[in-house]
């Protein structure tokens, strides 16, 4: 379905971003990876699916590096057809104790980076009259949780950016939507499991059950593979008039 198209996924060296990159590659899209950590491992996993893969190490907190990444993608592939704004970090603290540098980093990486990639990708998408922008928000783009002020503010902001981008492209072949996962067992969430296990003297399994039990009626983690298939649907012709939605995949979290 996505043969001869290019997908750029920020923060795609692990977790949800890597899952989405692989799902889009299975549809034939060439892939621009981004993120830190095990770059070679991520590249090998996506290349094994038989598509062309490039990598750019731009730091999503730095607008000049984001601009360089978008130029590199255009130089390598012609243009970006599918943009997945996925890079994100987390920090837990009460508002009055929240480190100012963590607030600034979360707003920059989880929210402002999507503004920069979107503003830079839109002209070519509009000229081609086709494009897909998918923003990885969160249930925390729809509801709050204590100790996550910066994350919740950034994700609510990302849902807002999604709606405005969708309205500004509504008469074109470009769509913009948000995906809002509940708990997904990635490195970002394993850290929160570890904090709970340590604080309460629980095993890894007990801490995971507690985390799920607090929020998710299904008692199940959503998987990067399931989120990848939702991204594939949003890229499909059937989703051509799905515009500005914030689609939760959360085991019932926000239905409560």
| Active-site residue list | 151
Binding residues with ligand NAD: total (CB under 6 A):
29
Assess 16 for contact with ligand NAD (CB under 6 A). yes
Rounded Cα gap, residues 237 and 244, in angstroms: 16
Taking the complex as a whole, how short is the minimal distance between the CB of residue 6 and ligand NAD, in angstroms? 18
Please pick, from the candidates 73, 80, 136, 159, the single residue that binds ligand NAD as defined by CB under 6 A.
136
Contact 183, 125 (CB under 8 A): no
Using only the alpha carbons of the chain, give its radius of gyration.
18
Q: Within a 13 Å sphere around the CA of 46, how many CA atoms are in the beta-carbon half? A: 33
Assess 84 for contact with ligand NAD (CB under 6 A). no
Binders in 48-67 for ligand NAD, by CB under 6 A: 59-61
Rounded Cα gap, residues 23 and 108, in angstroms: 27
Please pick, from the candidates 2, 5, 6, 11, the single residue that binds ligand NAD as defined by CB under 6 A.
11
Taking the complex as a whole, how short is the minimal distance between the CB of residue 14 and ligand NAD, in angstroms? 4
Rounded Cα gap, residues 195 and 180, in angstroms: 23
Torsion of CA 43, 37, 202, 182, to 10 degrees: -60
Which residues pair with residue 209 across a beta bridge?
Answer: none
Rounded Cα gap, residues 110 and 88, in angstroms: 5
Assess 169 for contact with ligand NAD (CB under 6 A). no
Which pair of tokens denotes residue 102?
Answer: 């963590």
Assess 88 for contact with ligand NAD (CB under 6 A). yes
Binders in 102-131 for ligand NAD, by CB under 6 A: 109-110
Please pick, from the candidates 20, 21, 174, 189, the single residue that binds ligand NAD as defined by CB under 6 A.
189
Residue 142 CB partners (closer than 8 Å, separation 6+): 156, 159, 180, 246, 248, 254
Query: Of the ranges 21-29, 32-40, 195-203, 236-244, which one interacts with ligand NAD (CB under 6 A)?
Result: 32-40
Q: Which is nearer to ligand NAD, 63 or 78 (CB)?
A: 63
Rounded Cα gap, residues 80 and 122, in angstroms: 9
Query: Of the ranges 31-39, 196-204, 207-215, 234-242, which one interacts with ligand NAD (CB under 6 A)?
Result: 31-39
Assess 183 for contact with ligand NAD (CB under 6 A). yes
Q: Which residue ranges make up the site for ligand NAD (CB under 6 A)?
A: 11-17, 34-37, 59-61, 86-89, 109-110, 136, 138, 181, 183-184, 186-189
């Amino acid at each position: 379905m996505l043969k001869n198209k290019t997908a750029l996924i920020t923060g795609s060296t692990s977790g949800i971003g890597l899952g989405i990159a692989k799902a889009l590659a299975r549809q034939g899209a060439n892939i621009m990876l981004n993120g830190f950590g095990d770059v070679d491992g991520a590249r090998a996993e996506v290349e094994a699916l038989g598509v062309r893969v490039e990598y750019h190490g731009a730091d999503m907190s730095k607008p000049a590096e984001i601009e360089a990444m978008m130029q590199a993608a255009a130089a390598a592939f012609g243009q970006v057809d599918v943009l997945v704004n996925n890079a994100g970090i987390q920090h837990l603290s009460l508002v009055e104790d929240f480190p100012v540098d963590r607030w600034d980093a979360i707003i920059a990486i989880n929210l402002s980076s999507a503004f920069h990639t979107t503003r830079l990708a839109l002209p070519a998408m509009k000229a081609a009259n086709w494009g897909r922008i998918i923003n990885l928000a969160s249930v925390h783009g729809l509801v709050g949780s204590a100790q996550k002020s910066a994350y919740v503010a950034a994700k609510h902001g990302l849902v807002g950016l999604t709606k405005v981008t969708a309205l500004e492209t509504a008469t074109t072949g470009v769509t913009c939507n948000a995906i809002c996962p509940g708990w997904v067992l990635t490195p970002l969430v394993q850290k929160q499991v570890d904090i709970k296990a340590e604080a309460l003297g629980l095993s890894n399994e007990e801490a995971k059950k507690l985390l799920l039990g607090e929020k998710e009626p299904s008692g199940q983690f959503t998987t990067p593979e399931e989120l990848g298939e939702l991204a594939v649907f949003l890229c499909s012709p059937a989703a051509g008039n799905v515009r500005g939605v914030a689609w939760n995949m959360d085991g019932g979290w926000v239905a409560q």
